[in-house]
Chains A and B, each alone.
Chain A
Amino acid sequence: AIQMTQSPSSLSASVGDIVTITCRASQGIRNDLGWYQQHPGKAPKLLIHTASSLQSGVPSRFSGSGSGTDFTLTISSLQPEDFATYYCLQDYSYPRTFGGGTKVEIK
């Protein structure tokens, strides 16, 4: 199974900050990667698919980049509603595997 290593596991940031989260795959996965946001007690929400494509309805402050094994999610100007946990997911092969998550907390 492809392992997805996400970092950092948590971070503290302020409103307006630029936030960057990374995900590394244990083998090349082309651009078959997505990013999800999850608030406590809620279902995850798809933000980015195919590594860099913004899902419909998602604010443009979210962006994704990368290909192969290294991927990045960037939030250009952190908003209060962005404090949540973020996960990457590879859809290159089965079993699908998620990263361990990054909790974005208020500084």
Chain B
Amino acid sequence: QVQLAESGGALVTPGGSLRLSCAASGFIFIDYYMNWIRQAPGKGLEWVAYISSSGNVIQYADSVKGRFTISRDNAKNSLYLDMNSLRAEDTAVYYCARDRQVYTSSQFDFWGKGTLVTVSS
């Protein structure tokens, strides 16, 4: 069965850096576009970043552009989010999610359980 498992969340001070990982299993990872979505405490969902199946097409939300980098290692069935210059407003649960259809952008049919990032001094 499809499984996505995020890791790497932590408490970090403002201006700091963090790398999140998402381990995928139960499907052919290289066939699917992947995403990061976040949810601040008590708030709604915010899409953060997207990467195509080969990794050659990437998109970011304006709120993280220039600070966050999405990447993937298809040999390791893993998705990553490198976060730099972290701010208090980046505090959130971060989810990785899979696009529903192969080789195209669509809705997100499988999500991980999320990992909490807290940015505070």
Contact B50 A55 (CB under 8 A): no
The minimal Cβ–Cβ distance linking A95 to chain B, given in whole angstroms, is: 5
Residues on B with C-beta less than 8 A from A42 are 113
Known contacts: A43-B114, A97-B47, A100-B44. The answer to whether A49 contacts B59 by CB under 8 A is no
Contact with B along A24-61 (1 / 0, CB 8 A): 00000000001010100011111001100001000000
Q: How far is the CA of A98 from the CA of B97 in the complex (A)?
A: 14
Task: Report the number of A-B residue pairs with Cβ-Cβ less than 8 Å.
Answer: 55
Residues on A with C-beta less than 8 A from B100 are 46, 49
Interface size class on chain B is 20 to 34
Task: From B8-16, B73-81, B101-109, give the one contacting chain A.
Answer: B101-109
| CB contact between A91 and one of B46, B106, B114 (< 8 Å): that residue | B106
Which of B35, B46, B100, B112 has its CB near the most chain A CB atoms (within 10 A)? B100
Contact B44 A46 (CB under 8 A): no
Q: Which residue of A lies closest to B62 (CB)?
A: A95
A87 at the binding interface (Cβ < 8 Å): yes
| CB contact between B109 and one of A1, A46, A96, A97 (< 8 Å): that residue | A46
Q: How far is the CA of A44 from the CA of B50 in the complex (A)?
A: 17
User: Among residues 84 to 118 in chain B, which have CB atoms less than 8 Å away from a CB atom of chain A?
Assistant: 95, 100, 105-109, 111-114
Q: Which residue of A lies closest to B95 (CB)?
A: A43
Residues on A with C-beta less than 8 A from B112 are 43
Q: How far is the CA of A87 from the CA of B45 in the complex (A)?
A: 8
Query: What would be 9 A-B contacts, judged by CB atoms less than 8 Å apart?
Result: A43-B95, A46-B108, A46-B109, A87-B44, A89-B45, A91-B106, A95-B60, A98-B45, A98-B47
Q: A1-B62, A87-B44 are in contact. List 11 more A-B contacts (CB 8 A).
A: A36-B45, A43-B113, A44-B111, A45-B111, A46-B109, A50-B107, A89-B108, A91-B107, A95-B47, A96-B47, A96-B50
4 A-B pairs with least C-beta separation? A34-B107, A96-B47, A43-B111, A94-B59
